[in-house]
Each structure stands twice: as C-alpha cells, then as structure tokens.
Structure 1
C-alpha cells in the first residue's frame, strides 16, 4: 500500500506569524513540571520550512535568529523558547519580561504558541493560535 497525501486544505498556512504575548515564566523549585513557552510549527508542504524568529521588546531593539531552524516537509516541530541553546542559539530569554515574537517561514506553515506556568499550585497551561 502506498501512503497518500492527507486530504484537507492548507489555505490558512502563512509565511509570517505573530505572537504578541511572550512572558517566559520562571521555573519553580521542586515542581514536577517545568514552566516554559514553546512555538509549535506544522509544515504541510513537502519541502523544508526555514524559519527566522524575531523577538520584540518593550525596552530595546528587536533580536533576530535564523540559526538553521528548519521544520522538515510534512512534519511538526516544537521549539522550546526556554531552551534556545538546544537549537544552537546562544541567547536566553529573560524570565518575566514582556516580549512578542514574529516567525517568518520560507514556505507557508501553521503555528501555535503554548505556555506552561507552574507559579501557582493549580498550574496554568495555555495554547493559542498565532495571528497570521
């Protein structure tokens, strides 16, 4: 049996996505889960998506990264923003600092943002689609 390309429309995929509410939670000592933020990128195209991230701050010029951030064709990838070093990026987003994200892709992709905040006992897990 030969696999077929999944049915469905990719008309909502975009080259540019905006995430206006970055605010990396600080890790809480002794927690079972680690507070973090993540960008989830789905690439429905057959060719790889080359990504560039730009962070916007309240008190300084933007910071941009395009360090081999790639999502393979027809794959999904989660980029942990508290672990940019895992992506080869020598930069740390400061905890509890307001920022925004622009994601640019070489091919149209779908994006989502997620945050896990363990600062209070009930935890907070939030996900939101981006503005494209």
Structure 2
C-alpha cells in the first residue's frame, strides 16, 4: 500500500459556471483530484450557495494512483444540480489524503480565460 500525499479536507470558495459561451469551447469548471495512494479515495462534495440550502454528500470515487477531472455541472444530489450563473462554493472531504485543484474555462468573451488554482486545504 502506498500512502498518498495531500489533505482530507479542501475548500474552493469562489465557484461559478458561466451562463454563456462563445466560439468552439463551452464555459465550464472542473475539480481536478489527484489520488497518489494505492487505495481508492471516497469523496463527499458539499455545494454552498448564497441564497439556498447546500447540496450535501455528493459521493465520488477516485481510484488509487489515478487522477479524476470532475465537471462541476455533473455533480448532482437527488436530481438537483448546480445552476449556471449562480455563485457557489465547494467543500471536498476525502477518507484519505488527496490533492485538489480547481479550474474554470470562461469562454463568454471572444478571448477565452482559464483560471486554475490549488484549493485551500484544512490541516
């Protein structure tokens, strides 16, 4: 068994799926997870909003010694997903240490913008 690097509790406070896209690329966001452990990582996502209750306990598995790019538009709980054009924040909890990166492709303008940051880890 290989023990992975990282942390088990992560936050991404500034998330937003743009409503519009232009050109060939669709505006989107991804939470990129690296699991360097030999064991599968069991993740639970919570999505926080400004004006409504959170979407809690959205389960995702990241296999051992793999990476997974999770489009935030695919995260759902009981048929409810993240609406476009609404600010939100993300909490990721894992049963083993992982690395979390957040990326947003904004293609609302003629020039595309890509933002990518490592999430905030709680130790």
Indicate the TM-score class for this superposition, using the shorter chain for normalisation.
0.7 to 0.9
State the secondary structure of the residue aligned to 1:108: strand
The change in CA–CA distance for 1:108 and 1:116 in structure 2 (over 3 A counts) is: same
1:19 paired residue number: 12
Contact 1:65 1:89 in 2 (8 A): no
TM-score w.r.t. the length of structure 2 is 0.88
Give the CA RMSD over aligned residues: 1.9
Q: Would you say how many aligned residue pairs link Structure 1 and Structure 2?
A: 119
Partners of 2:88 and 2:57 in 1: CA distance: 15
TM-score w.r.t. the length of structure 1 is 0.82
State the secondary structure of the residue aligned to 2:80: coil
- Please give the residue correspondences for 1:61-100 in structure 2 after superposition, counting only pairs within 5 Å: 61-67=53-59, 69-84=60-75, 90-100=79-89
Contact 1:56 1:63 in 2 (8 A): yes
- Listed as ranges, the gaps of 5+ residues in structure 2 are none
Contact 1:84 1:90 in 2 (8 A): no
Larger Rg: 1
Instruction: Give the 4+ runs in structure 1 shifted more than 3 A.
Output: none
Deviation per CA, 1:38-75, whole angstroms, max 9, x where unpaired?
A: 000000111100010001111112211333x1000111
Contact 1:81 1:93 in 2 (8 A): yes
